[in-house]
Structure 1
Amino acid sequence: MPNSSGTEAPKTKAPANACDAHFHIIDPRFPTPESAKPAGSTFDDYVLHQRRIGTTRAVPVQPKYHRTDHACILDALSRLGKNGRGVGVCHPDATDAELKRLDAGGIRGLRFSVWNPSDTVTTIDMIEPLSKRSADLGWHVQLHMSGDQIVETSAMLGRLPCPIVFDHMGRLPPKQGPEHPAFRVIADLAGKGRAWVKLAGAYLNTEQGPPYADATRIAQAFVKVAPDRLVWGSDWPHVTEKHKPDDAELFELLAAWAGNEKTRDAILVDNPTRLYGFDR
């Protein structure tokens, strides 16, 4: 399978309308830096992954490779139809017409991946002004920040007028996990109905590697405090990983994280339905 170390389907079957709420389509047919064209990451490649895992709803997230050019993700959303919603990347100088065009194409939020300053397309100071424009559209802001950045910006996060989605379980330092102060910042916002968390990227939340016991501790802590504010994502095609993980094993982790089938199915179906508006 493209960008996966395995080929078998998961042992646990996905429920109807299960949603993969975080992955990237990177297609050389669309503008991409010549130095960064990951192979096997097109929409057709993703469909093979989707069939293997058993999800049907999908939320592609604009990758850094396409920067603020949304041609690729809008193409993917048009092909996904009613089963697709997307998360884009914009700068504050984006026009109202552009934001409305993205909304019509299925975009429902804006991502700010600012944890690594060396390759970021956006900056922290862009979050607040764009959050106000996102609120007008009924969108959210999706934040890929380190745990320390979350703590440092907690006052600003508390002011944002739109929902917040925290990427990759908040990127808490694995040794501290839920003892890191960012966990309480996220949990408090989720408890007020103002934030969501993506259970994704186990390999980004581990120092131990598979089977990711340290990442599991973080995920289970979020399940304990905010099970109705969690969504799951495959993070395919795993662009950060030189050695690709087995996507079936990543999907099966969710059952251990959720603790029971009802909670797992809510994370896969009910919660993303509310967050992304799949029922509308």
Structure 2
Amino acid sequence: MVTLPKGATDCHCHIFGPQDVFPYDPASGFKPADAPKEALFALHDQMGIERCVIVQSGCHGHDNRVVADAITARPGRYLGIALAPADIGATQLKALDNQGFRGLRFNYMSHLAPGADRDALRALAPRLADLGWHLQIHMEDRLIAPMTPWLADLPVPVVIDHFGRIDASRPRDQAEFQALLRLLDYEHLWCKVSGSERASRQDPPYADAVPYAREVVQRFPDRVLWGTDWPHPNFRADPPDDGDLFDLLPRIAPTEALMQSLLVENPERLYGFGQGTHT
């Protein structure tokens, strides 16, 4: 098993339910089995993950209580990313900030509810900046180039989920991956090298995704993050073995310095772990 550095952080995971306590949004077409905080905590304790950022799932809609509850259970070590409408007001954002949320996520995937348009993101960004928050974007690879002008001039950090959902079965000079690299040339853009199993078109251990993730880490070592994506919602097959994904880490971040940046230092800077701030 991979030995993780002290302070290792899972920057992307989810929890679902339990539904009798945190019911699902009736409007959501995604109704997964319960995956409660206790199961997530057990995984982290087993693997040596000390800190975490839980991303609100669409199955709970804009009711972020399920994530707030988990944050409360491990204060200072767990934070959250919320789902909310783009016109959310400053008062509501401050309330989420006090609960331990540090950003808003918008989806641009065909199987999920549509995200905010360009004007809405531009109007929202100053309110996020006032709190030291960031914007998190989950998009299909075909949208990377068209959305680059949207994201390039925003006055807040922008985090791209799952390295742009690129297709690792295609050559690395593919237009979509090159568009991702150009997008990341903007210094406020960050990238999660989570979701290797989603980029891969192979069976475990998803080796075809490793060169893509490694190139992003090596080119942008101070603006990359990693996460388990547990419990792997909407995966194309049976959920992957988390051990397989952990075993990819030394190949994605092949030096001690890169691993330290990816798992410890970058999350500290972006989310404010242990700093009392989150700028």
2:190 equivalent in structure 1: 196
Q: Which of 52, 59, 63 is the aligned partner of 1:65?
A: 59
2:24 equivalent in structure 1: 32
State the SS of the aligned residue for 2:53.
Answer: strand
Percent identity at matched positions? 35
Kindly report which structure 2 residues correspond to 1:242-253, keeping only aligned pairs within 5 A, or say none: 242-253=237-248
Deviations 1:240-273 (A, max 9, x none): 2241111111011011111122211221111111
Deviations 1:32-61 (A, max 9, x none): 146754334101111111112210100000
Distance 2:261 2:212 in 1: 18
Indicate if the aligned counterparts of 2:77 and 2:273 stay in contact, CA closer than 8 A.
Answer: yes
Distance 2:171 2:163 in 1: 10
- The CA RMSD over aligned residues, in Å, is 1.9
Q: Which of 232, 235, 250 is the aligned partner of 1:238?
A: 232
Indicate if the aligned counterparts of 1:53 and 1:247 stay in contact, CA closer than 8 A.
Answer: no
Indicate if the aligned counterparts of 2:76 and 2:274 stay in contact, CA closer than 8 A.
Answer: no
State the SS of the aligned residue for 2:10.
Answer: strand
Q: Which of 4, 19, 32 is the aligned partner of 2:9?
A: 19
State the SS of the aligned residue for 1:52.
Answer: helix
Distance 1:213 1:15 in 2: 23
- Figure out how many residues of one structure are paired with residues of the other and give that number: 269
Q: Which runs of 5+ in 2 are unaligned?
A: none
Distance 1:215 1:127 in 2: 30
Distance 1:90 1:173 in 2: 29
1:279 pairs with 2:274: yes
Q: Which of 257, 260, 278 is the aligned partner of 2:252?
A: 257
1:5 equivalent in structure 2: none
1:122 pairs with 2:115: yes
Q: Which runs of 5+ in 1 are unaligned?
A: 1-10
Letter matched to residue 220 of structure 1? R
Distance 2:126 2:144 in 1: 19
Higher relative contact order (Cα pairs below 8 Å, separated by 6+ residues): 1
Letter matched to residue 72 of structure 2? S
Q: Which of 88, 99, 104 is the aligned partner of 1:105?
A: 99
Distance 2:176 2:130 in 1: 28
TM-score when scaled to structure 1? 0.89
Letter matched to residue 24 of structure 1? H
Letter matched to residue 123 of structure 1? A
